[in-house]
Structure 1
């Protein structure tokens, strides 16, 4: 399914918890998966939500790749070529395979600028990031941790299925992320999310509005919940 610019704007106008709520209506079978279930640290919480097509890869950093230097360079170039191809905007999902994820960081000043230049809006990784003040402006980072060194960081594989803090994704998936975390949005459901979010907002407004009125009580809450449930 092809998404329009208007579809992207509609999704970007929502925060990630709202998208998760909407997906519970649109695709209820995904209620327990498709989002991170372990904490991700958002490095730039003031940035707006990002929505893009997933580019996936895996890295290690705790030991050398044991490849020849020219083979390491070739793999890095293969990664950059992959990032540059396919639909945009993109969001990078890079899984750290080390037993201690984040031992060394792939992400810092150089790679944030390179990936932003190749059309990526940000990165989501269970590994680490660094160079916080110098990273590309507007490039979002959700990571497992912050570390100072890149150690022996190297690309292991490109375009493979990944699992980031409990969230599984494949190359080409659509993802929504902000300061709260990330969620994979099924492409065939993406156009329905904004409408479902509006419905939920109308229902919630009844309860919130009642709670702000003088004399709010359990009885009034029960009535507000009944009125909310009647909104379709």
Structure 2
């Protein structure tokens, strides 16, 4: 049985940028600040698209050879549908270096129809112009023109992408800044914490943009309790 959060909260999270989500998580001090998000090389290849949030569906792929272990697409699709929607695909490419793109126009259409909002992979993606109108987010280090012998190796197991280990059902969030996981125990409280932090930062920004700015006023304002 997978955990879920309130649908209204999940929708609210898609209106918040990922840096603000990360700031808010820090405000609860539930994990080290060096953990919980993917490394900077896992970036949106479609940065004009809005933030997405969903529950992780996980798989491993390889493209170097047509031989070796292979998982069934039917099993993959069945597994996807066993996880609550909306779904956030996380694909670990076990090739080193990764080169064959599993993700492009065809898979984006299929997985959007299966209730997925985007994919994060340490592999490659392609067909950017065709995927962009779908509103389907693509997070990866690189793009590639060919899929090689790409195939599923395993599905529904923990995977590691961008240094982050993701389990099926984990709550994920991503936008043009990158991808983070969200601890379930604080998820419903995140929108309120985001507002608290935004209000705090607004005071600094207002002062810095004011004609009345002074170093003394900045130092005085900095004495206020930082919420994160």
What TM-score do the two structures reach when normalised by structure 2?
Answer: 0.93
* Larger helix fraction of residues: 1
- Evaluate the alpha carbon distance shift between residue 8 and residue 63 of structure 1 in structure 2; reply closer, same or farther with a 3 A threshold: same
1:226 partner SS: coil
Is 1:61 equivalent to 2:58 in the alignment?
A: no
2:61 partner SS: strand
Please identify runs of 4+ aligned residues in structure 1 that moved more than 3 A.
none
Q: Distance in 2 between matches of 1:185 and 1:207?
A: 27
Per-residue deviation at 1:107? 0.5
Q: Distance in 2 between matches of 1:163 and 1:38?
A: 14
CA deviation map 1:173-219 (0-9, x unaligned): 00010000011001111011111111111111111111111142221
C-alpha contact 1:27 1:189 (8 A) present in aligned 2? no
C-alpha contact 2:51 2:173 (8 A) present in aligned 1? yes
C-alpha contact 1:16 1:178 (8 A) present in aligned 2? yes
Aligned to 1:45: 47
Aligned to 2:189: 192
What TM-score do the two structures reach when normalised by structure 1?
Answer: 0.91
Q: Distance in 2 between matches of 1:230 and 1:5?
A: 30
| More moved, 168-177 vs 22-31 | 22-31
C-alpha contact 1:128 1:146 (8 A) present in aligned 2? yes
Give 1:81's match in structure 2, choosing from 78, 82, 98: 78
Number of equivalenced pairs: 225
1:57 partner SS: strand
Aligned to 1:14: 16
Is 1:218 equivalent to 2:211 in the alignment?
A: no
Aligned to 1:168: 165
CA RMSD of aligned residues (A): 1.8
- Evaluate the alpha carbon distance shift between residue 110 and residue 28 of structure 1 in structure 2; reply closer, same or farther with a 3 A threshold: same
Gap runs ≥5 in structure 2? none
Aligned to 1:139: 136
